[in-house]
Amino acid sequence: MKNTLTLVALCFTVMLNAQWIDNTSCNKTSALITNQAIEYAMNLEYMAAFGAANSALLLDKNCGCAQLTLAYISSSNPKWGSRAKKLKEISATKLSAEEKAWYNYMLASSEEQKALDTSLVSQFPKSPLINYLTTSMQDFNSFKVFAEKFPLYSSSAYNMISYGYMNGSYGKEDTVAAMEYVKMSQNIHDGPNSFDSMGEHYAAMGDYENALNTQLKAIDFATFASPYRTKAQLYYAKIEQKDISEKIIADQEEMQKAIMNSDYESYKKFEHPEIKVSTGDSNLNPFYIITKEDIINDNGITWNSFKLFNMDTYFSPDMKTAVITFEADGNYTIIETNETVPYATRASATWNNTDDGWKILHTSFAPRKGKNGIPGFVK
């Protein structure tokens, strides 16, 4: 009982918005909580919606609106999603008219939903929920229409309008208008998604410092396993790109030194247990997976000198993969013949940013035009 009272008290602290749906099948308290759950859901804060909807069900196990909210935030994918199952478990006959309209809308296919849009708005012209269901990113003006009609419920619509200005859906891209609308969203709704959106807008403008600072505000709403953490890591990496590049280049040089010295103990820190490192040598033999034995075994040559230079780093958009291109000069002696051979190659190496740091994924060497790589007998 104590836990239930605490739960109710916590829920009422966030009951600041008007109601998305007035007539529900829930008791008064659960209806208030469920409307907050819908507010979270419409703002794409599904975990908060999940918590609020389940809170409502603790107080009223037959709260159809809370059950509908849980179905709405679930996947409709027929192979693994649970929306259809959750809808099937709802007693449709006990739903209010608005709830039943939402229920039928979720049961409908995408094409059927398009047909329902006009009729539902006509049937429920004063329902924020029903009207918001008919908005679409295929028509960003639909969010403006909703915001004009339901200003008290427009945090999610303002957020979407900000994207419309960022992507040019209203004509020319307008970053000033985009920022104005996302701030309007924040003024209406206290939640993380609009800060995530603002972070994306800053990032699109190349301002990764502000993107990171804003993204951290989104994370701060609920830090553990935050869905907003990935973008924060991306923005941080963009800011630190020069230092990261220098670190990967230094790692490449250190790893190459370990290979030349047959020093597996120094080499293995660049390996990841789940990555099979593929490599192609400058003798142009087939690619192979490099192992400890390849590092420590005698390969029939002795290196006299080896130097990497002209090293450049290129990153994937998510900053999870880096490719280093470089050249290598040196010379080696073939042990069997005592012949010294000049060596000149161009090469690339691919590194992956794992939970354990940057790890080697692939290397490839080829002799520069008219020059020598390693002998063909070397694996």
Q: What are phi and psi of 252, to 5 degrees?
A: -60, -45
Residue 3 zone, left/alpha/beta (φ > 0; ψ -120 to 50; rest): alpha
How much is the pLDDT for 3?
44
Beta strands at 278-280 and 357-367: parallel, antiparallel or unpaired? parallel
Q: Which residues pair with 350 in a beta bridge?
A: 323, 362
One-letter amino acid at 301 equals I
Q: How far apart are CA 210 and CA 198, in angstroms?
A: 9
What 3-state class would DSSP assign to 379? coil
At CA 242, angle to CA 240 and CA 245, rounded to 5? 105
How much is the pLDDT for 298?
87
Residue ranges per structural domain of the chain = 1-134, 247-367
Tens place of pLDDT for every residue, the chain, 379 residues? Answer: 444 444 344 344 444 446 999 899 999 999 999 999 999 999 999 999 999 999 999 999 999 999 999 999 999 999 999 999 999 999 999 999 999 999 999 999 989 998 899 999 999 999 999 999 999 999 999 999 999 999 999 999 999 999 999 999 999 999 999 999 999 999 999 999 999 999 999 999 999 999 999 999 999 999 999 999 999 999 999 999 999 999 999 999 999 999 999 999 999 999 999 999 999 999 999 999 999 999 999 889 999 999 999 999 999 999 999 999 999 999 999 999 999 999 999 999 999 999 999 999 999 999 999 999 999 988 7
How much is the pLDDT for 379?
74
Ordered strands of the 357-367 beta sheet: 288-289, 278-280, 357-367, 339-354, 321-334, 301-315
Q: Chain centroid to CA 21: how far?
A: 31
Query: pTM of the entire structure?
Result: 0.88
Count Cβ neighbours within 10 Å for each residue of 71-109 and write b for 16 or more, e otherwise.
Answer: bbbbeeeeeeeebbebbeebeeeebbebbbbbbbbbbee
How much is the pLDDT for 346?
98
Q: What are phi and psi of 278, to 5 degrees?
A: -95, 150
Taking only Cα atoms into account, the Rg of the chain, rounded to an integer number of angstroms, comes to 29
Q: Which residue's structure tokens are 């994924």?
A: 361
Helix (H) or strand (E) holding 352: strand 339-354
Where do the H-state alpha helices sit in the chain?
2-12, 28-42, 46-59, 64-72, 83-88, 97-107, 110-123, 128-133, 141-149, 155-166, 175-188, 193-204, 208-220, 229-239, 241-260, 264-267, 292-296
- The fold adopted by the segment(s) 247-367 is Nuclear Transport Factor 2; Chain: A, (3.10.450)
* Beta-carbon contacts of residue 310 (< 8 Å; ≥ 6 apart): 325, 326, 327
Instruction: Using alpha carbons, select from 355, 349, 364 the residue that is nearest to residue 272.
Output: 355
